[in-house]
Structure 1
Amino acid sequence: MSDLLWPGDHRAGDLFTDASVVAAMIRVEHAWLTALAELGVAGITVPDDLAELVGPDDLPALAVGAESGGNPLIPLLKLLRSRLRGRNTAAAGWLHKGLTSQDVVDTALVLCLRDAIARIRADLLAQVGALSRLAEEHRETRMAGRTLTQHAIPITFGLKAAGWLTGILDARDQLAVAGKPPIQIGGAAGSLAAPAALAGGPARARELVAVTARHLGLPAREPWHTSRAPLTRVADAFVTCTDAWGKIANDVLVGARPEVHELIESTAAGRGGSSAMPNKQNPVHAVLIKRAALAAPPFAALVHAGAAAAVDERPDGGWHVEWATLRTLARRTVVAGAQTAELLAGLRVETGKMLATLHEARPGIDAEQQSITPGVAPDQPYLGATDEIIDAVLARAKGTV
């Protein structure tokens, strides 16, 4: 899967593709069958090759068939049963028994989100390392601080890098909270009625869910058919990431302007060229990261809108709007995370240009210092608690506070 109109989409690979969603739904069905057999509810031999019953050639028909019932699981079950019946009739009869479509689709979404979250966490870790190095290396690198596009007071680039790092750490922490979405199994109306009837009571039904969750490596909890916080939390965490990356991208875009020339993107592999102007070296990663930061919030808002539209025991459209929305948001967040990690790893800091701009900004940039401490020479440090702030952020990055 790749999107021509979203450059960089290939970085997300097979995350949340149609094939991976189908594979995730089959994993849920397999785990449920395994739980039924393990707890003695069904006297069956669980097929090891359930995933092999469906291949890439089946995806177009499954996509078309999804329209009839309104979700992709219904045609998938029909296909699985037809192919399983000839080799394991008992398992075919127990396939999906006690579940409802929403159980499988929701839990498959969680599995796909978990894979995306793992990729994003890895890139956040790389970003923390790169920004920690920049903050330490440039804690004495003087530059002009800017507010509302104008020169403000002198700062250091190390302080700016520590500010970027703070945003990344906030994103890391929010993703850690949201990044363990649980299994969602509740039966037809969220009461576990069918599992309880099959297994012999409520306690056994909950045990079925717990065993299924264990086989999938997911936390177990009560059904959340119409309480969608597990998904809105993930969506919000993704946007916190893109917000932090967007801030970095915006600063790089300003710093990369020829008249500023304080920050330069890596030009590896011919990156940043123009189709018509060979003189240009566009900060293309920063441009694409900013694009993702601009696009992400509406997707999270749509997930919230779906949650707010929940009605009865299964939403009529509010549930359905989540699927493609989460897929798009997850893939784009993964892409932006990889691009940001690469941007920071190759970022060039033009310290000489920063210092020259600071000198050119005098005496105006020293106005606040002169108003507070009149008569003090402007070449004296006016950096406040810069070192302490950098130290505190670095300690947080290392997990020592």
Structure 2
Amino acid sequence: MTNLLWPGDNLAGDLMSDAAFLEAMLAVEGAWLDGLIDAGIAPREARAQLVDLLAENDLEAIARCADADGNPVSGLVSVLRERSAEPTARWLHRGLTSQDVIDTALMLCARDVLGAIGDEFAIQVRALCGLAETHRSTTALARTLTQAALPSTLGAKFAHWLTGVLDAVEPLRGLLASLPIQVGGAVGSLAAATELAGSVDGAVALSDGLAAALRLAPAPPWHSTRSAVTRIGDALASCCDAWGHIATDVATGSRSEIGELAEGRGGGSSSMPHKNNPIRSVLIRRATFTAGPLAGILHAAAGASVDERSDGAWHAEWATLQTLGRRTVVAAVHTSELVTGLLVHADRAAANLAAAQGLASEQRVMTELTGRAALRDYTGATDRLIDATLDRARRLFEDTP
């Protein structure tokens, strides 16, 4: 996929694309049909490779048909039944409703997105560990409220970046293992599945079997309780928060008058050949500005959820999660490129520190209070704090050097 107005969208590949979502819906329908057959409810002759029933141009046709019923499931099921022989056509989609298919397909697509982001996190953690270790003693000026504050080290700054990344990756890992199945039938009561299976236990077994087949977590129906979706949105926004912090520091640190940091591969200008713009940082910050509001839409939709299927709030989630998912993957790739190629100019950091005025004022106060001379470099527990962050990273990523 490409998007002229979101440079780098191609880096997300087919993740959370319309084609990926259609494939996920097919996977749900196929796994459910197989479950009915394996349970002895539908005849063996009903088994079919549903993916073979679709043609390349069906995606657009199904998308256009979705306008009639408000979702793409009806059009998909109609096409599949038209092209299926009996008894496949008769048993296809029986016991499911459109929400089951869409919500479960969203979980499948989200899993792929979260997995791709997890791979990028591994790259980022290795790079940031290396930067923090290499520059643990590289003195630099710490700034608060944009102004010179106290001496610090670039290793401490990189360890702070790493902390943000680790804070984002921990819940993401837990989320990956708990994405839930959605099987509830028309109103979330499993009524049709109970009728098909002949018992409540049989209906639950069908739902659990679908979860196992799709490698999702078994769960009771959650039709209008939307925390499964908002948790994904929150995790994605938190990722962008962590990366945005890094990108903002790099963009600031690469200003000509500061010059402590630089992107390994900057961007050019259409009219100023001398420019070496921090484009990775710019594009990461772009994602940060939009991720929070997109996650907010998911929360607004969750709060407006009503009855056993919402009248518009549910529908607002789909494209929102798609957009947020793809943009977060792009930001993940850009951040990996940024931290692995980051250039550190220790000489400029030292010069900026030396030029700063008034940094010894706190040291003098501490000397007067304690009667002891303050440490010469006045970087406090920086080394220990860096070590603690590196140890945390190693526990999460055992192969991180």
* TM-score normalised according to structure 1 size: 0.96
* Other-structure match for 1:71: 71
1:186-206 CA distance string (max 9 Å, x none): 111111000000001100000
Could you tell me which of 371, 395, 401 is aligned with 1:399? 395
| Separation (CA, whole Å) in 1 of partners of 2:204 and 2:376 | 68
| Separation (CA, whole Å) in 1 of partners of 2:393 and 2:182 | 34
| Separation (CA, whole Å) in 2 of partners of 1:398 and 1:150 | 34
**Cα deviation, residue 367, structure 1:** 1.6
* Other-structure match for 1:53: 53
Could you tell me which of 184, 191, 194 is aligned with 2:182? 184
1:128-151 CA distance string (max 9 Å, x none): 111111111111000000000000
| Separation (CA, whole Å) in 2 of partners of 1:314 and 1:325 | 18
* Other-structure match for 1:311: 306
The question of whether the paired residues in 1 share the 8 Å contact of 2:37 and 2:47 is answered with no
* Other-structure match for 1:253: 251
**Cα deviation, residue 239, structure 1:** 0.5
| Separation (CA, whole Å) in 2 of partners of 1:42 and 1:373 | 83
The question of whether the paired residues in 1 share the 8 Å contact of 2:96 and 2:186 is answered with yes
Superposition pairs of residues 232-251 of structure 1, within 5 angstroms: 232-251=230-249
**Cα deviation, residue 56, structure 1:** 2.7
* Other-structure match for 1:367: 361
Could you tell me which of 90, 94, 98 is aligned with 1:93? 90
- The letter of the residue matching 1:397 is A
**Cα deviation, residue 55, structure 1:** 2.8
Superposition pairs of residues 198-277 of structure 1, within 5 angstroms: 198-267=196-265, 271-277=266-272
Matched, 1:383 2:387: no
Could you tell me which of 289, 295, 298 is aligned with 2:290? 295
* Other-structure match for 1:194: 192
**Cα deviation, residue 52, structure 1:** 1.9
The CA RMSD over aligned residues, in Å, is 1.5
The question of whether the paired residues in 1 share the 8 Å contact of 2:30 and 2:49 is answered with no
| Separation (CA, whole Å) in 2 of partners of 1:354 and 1:376 | 28
1:312-345 CA distance string (max 9 Å, x none): 1000111000000000000000000000001000
The question of whether the paired residues in 2 share the 8 Å contact of 1:250 and 1:286 is answered with yes
- The letter of the residue matching 1:398 is R
Superposition pairs of residues 60-139 of structure 1, within 5 angstroms: 60-85=60-85, 89-139=86-136
* Other-structure match for 1:23: 23
- The letter of the residue matching 1:393 is T
| 3-state SS of 1:3 partner | coil
- The letter of the residue matching 2:88 is A
| 3-state SS of 1:190 partner | coil
| Separation (CA, whole Å) in 1 of partners of 2:381 and 2:39 | 61
| Separation (CA, whole Å) in 1 of partners of 2:298 and 2:171 | 17
| Separation (CA, whole Å) in 1 of partners of 2:220 and 2:362 | 58
- The letter of the residue matching 1:308 is G
- The letter of the residue matching 2:184 is G
- The letter of the residue matching 1:310 is S
| Separation (CA, whole Å) in 1 of partners of 2:92 and 2:220 | 22
- The letter of the residue matching 2:312 is G
Unmatched segments (≥5 aa) in structure 1: none
| Separation (CA, whole Å) in 2 of partners of 1:251 and 1:168 | 14
The question of whether the paired residues in 1 share the 8 Å contact of 2:172 and 2:235 is answered with yes
| Separation (CA, whole Å) in 2 of partners of 1:209 and 1:45 | 22
**Cα deviation, residue 91, structure 1:** 1.3
| Separation (CA, whole Å) in 2 of partners of 1:182 and 1:54 | 27
Between 374-383 and 149-158, the greater mean CA deviation after superposition: 374-383
* Other-structure match for 1:282: 277
* TM-score normalised according to structure 2 size: 0.96
- The letter of the residue matching 1:366 is A
Unmatched segments (≥5 aa) in structure 2: none
* Other-structure match for 1:9: 9
1:226-265 CA distance string (max 9 Å, x none): 1111110010000110000000000001101000000010
| Separation (CA, whole Å) in 2 of partners of 1:151 and 1:134 | 23
Matched pairs, number:
394
* Other-structure match for 2:166: 169
**Cα deviation, residue 177, structure 1:** 2.6
- The letter of the residue matching 1:344 is V
- The letter of the residue matching 1:118 is G
The question of whether the paired residues in 2 share the 8 Å contact of 1:47 and 1:91 is answered with yes
| Separation (CA, whole Å) in 2 of partners of 1:54 and 1:105 | 18
| Separation (CA, whole Å) in 2 of partners of 1:44 and 1:82 | 20
| Separation (CA, whole Å) in 2 of partners of 1:184 and 1:333 | 24
| Separation (CA, whole Å) in 2 of partners of 1:55 and 1:352 | 61
| 3-state SS of 1:287 partner | helix
